[in-house]
Structure 1
Amino acid sequence: MSAPTTERRATPLAEATTPTLRAAVKRWRFWLILAAVAIVGLLIVALASGAGGGSRAPYSITNAAPEGSKALAEVLRQQGVDVVQADTLDEARAAMDAAPGATLAFADPDGLLNDSRLAEAAQLSDRVVLFLPGFNELRAFAPGVASAGAPRDIDGVDAGCSLPAAVRAGTIIGGGRSYRATAGSDAELCFRTSDDAYDVVRTETSDGTVTVLGTADVLSNEGITGAGNAALALNLLGETDTLVWYIPTASDVEADGPADIASLTPDWVTPVLALSVFTFIAAAIWRGRRLGALVVENLPVTVRSRETMEGRARLYARAGAHTHALDSLRIGTITRLSRVLGLPRNATVDEVIASVAAVLPARPLGDIQSILVAAAPANEADLVAYSDRLLELEGAVTRAVRP
Structure 2
Amino acid sequence: MIADTTERGTPARAEVTTPTLRAAVKRWRFWLILAAVAIVGLLVVAVASGTGGGSRAPYSITNAAPEGSKALAEVLRQQGVDVVQADTMQEARAALDAAPTATLAFADPGGYLNDARLDEAAELADRVVLFLPGFDELRAFAPEIASAGAPRDTDGVEAECSLPAAERAGSIIGGGRAYRAPAGGDAELCFRASDDAYYLVHDDTPNASVTVLGAADVLSNEGITGAGNAALALGLLGEDATLVWYVPTASDVEADGPADITSLTPDWVTPVLVLVVFTFIAAAVWRGRRLGALVVENLPVTVRSRETMEGRARLYARAGARTHALDSLRIGTITRLSKILGLPRNATVDEVIASVAAVLPGRPLGDIQSILVAATPSNEADLVAYSDRLLELEGAVTRAVRP
Offset of 1:182 from its aligned partner? 1.9
Tell me the distance in 1 between the aligned counterparts of 2:54 and 2:137.
Answer: 26
Does the 8 A contact of 1:145 with 1:182 survive in 2?
yes
State yes or no: 1:93 paired with 2:99. no
Residue 204 of structure 1 corresponds to: 204
Residue 270 of structure 1 aligns to a residue in which SS? helix
Offset of 1:195 from its aligned partner? 2.2
Residue 146 of structure 2 aligns to a residue in which SS? strand
Give the residue type in structure 2 aligned to 1:259: A
Residue 28 of structure 1 corresponds to: 28
Residue 383 of structure 1 corresponds to: none
Tell me the distance in 1 between the aligned counterparts of 2:23 and 2:165.
Answer: 75
> What are the residue-to-residue correspondences of 1:2-401 with 2, within 5 Å?
12-287=12-287, 294=292
TM-score by structure 1 length? 0.68
Tell me the distance in 2 between the aligned counterparts of 1:17 and 1:276.
Answer: 33
Measured against aligned partners, the alpha-carbon deviations of 1:8-66 in whole angstroms (never above 9, x if no partner) come to 96785332334333212112213212211221221232133224421111101111110
Alpha-carbon spacing, 1:149–1:293, altered in 2? closer, same or farther (3 Å): closer
Tell me the distance in 2 between the aligned counterparts of 1:144 and 1:296.
Answer: 82
Residue 201 of structure 2 aligns to a residue in which SS? strand
Residue 13 of structure 1 aligns to a residue in which SS? strand
Residue 373 of structure 1 corresponds to: none
What is the alpha-carbon root mean square deviation over aligned residues? 2.6
Residue 327 of structure 2 corresponds to: none
Offset of 1:105 from its aligned partner? 0.4
Tell me the distance in 2 between the aligned counterparts of 1:8 and 1:167.
Answer: 112
Alpha-carbon spacing, 1:194–1:279, altered in 2? closer, same or farther (3 Å): same
Alpha-carbon spacing, 1:188–1:11, altered in 2? closer, same or farther (3 Å): farther
Tell me the distance in 2 between the aligned counterparts of 1:93 and 1:268.
Answer: 39
Does the 8 A contact of 1:13 with 1:297 survive in 2?
no
Tell me the distance in 1 between the aligned counterparts of 2:285 and 2:85.
Answer: 50
Offset of 1:101 from its aligned partner? 2.6
Tell me the distance in 2 between the aligned counterparts of 1:49 and 1:184.
Answer: 52
Alpha-carbon spacing, 1:203–1:26, altered in 2? closer, same or farther (3 Å): same
Alpha-carbon spacing, 1:141–1:33, altered in 2? closer, same or farther (3 Å): same
Does the 8 A contact of 1:103 with 1:242 survive in 2?
yes
Tell me the distance in 2 between the aligned counterparts of 1:229 and 1:35.
Answer: 51
Does the 8 A contact of 2:104 with 2:243 survive in 1?
yes
Tell me the distance in 1 between the aligned counterparts of 2:294 and 2:134.
Answer: 76
Residue 13 of structure 2 aligns to a residue in which SS? coil
Residues paired across the two proteins, number? 294
Tell me the distance in 2 between the aligned counterparts of 1:8 and 1:192.
Answer: 109
**Which structure carries more relative contact order (alpha carbon 8 Å, separation 6+)?**
1
Tell me the distance in 2 between the aligned counterparts of 1:297 and 1:157.
Answer: 83
Tell me the distance in 1 between the aligned counterparts of 2:166 and 2:252.
Answer: 33
Offset of 1:170 from its aligned partner? 0.9
Residue 101 of structure 2 aligns to a residue in which SS? coil
Tell me the distance in 1 between the aligned counterparts of 2:159 and 2:174.
Answer: 14
Q: Identity of paired residues, percent?
A: 80
Give the residue type in structure 2 aligned to 1:146: A
Runs of 5+ consecutive residues of structure 1 not aligned to the other structure: 1-6, 299-322, 328-403
Measured against aligned partners, the alpha-carbon deviations of 1:245-293 in whole angstroms (never above 9, x if no partner) come to 11111222222222211221211111111122223333444445xx866
Does the 8 A contact of 2:105 with 2:246 survive in 1?
yes
Tell me the distance in 2 between the aligned counterparts of 1:198 and 1:233.
Answer: 16
Does the 8 A contact of 1:155 with 1:172 survive in 2?
yes
Give the residue type in structure 1 aligned to 2:128: V
Q: Rg: which structure is higher?
A: 1
Give the residue type in structure 2 aligned to 1:128: V
Tell me the distance in 1 between the aligned counterparts of 2:287 and 2:63.
Answer: 54
Offset of 1:233 from its aligned partner? 0.4
Residue 17 of structure 2 aligns to a residue in which SS? coil
Alpha-carbon spacing, 1:148–1:22, altered in 2? closer, same or farther (3 Å): same
Runs of 5+ consecutive residues of structure 2 not aligned to the other structure: 1-6, 297-305, 311-403
Offset of 1:90 from its aligned partner? 1.7
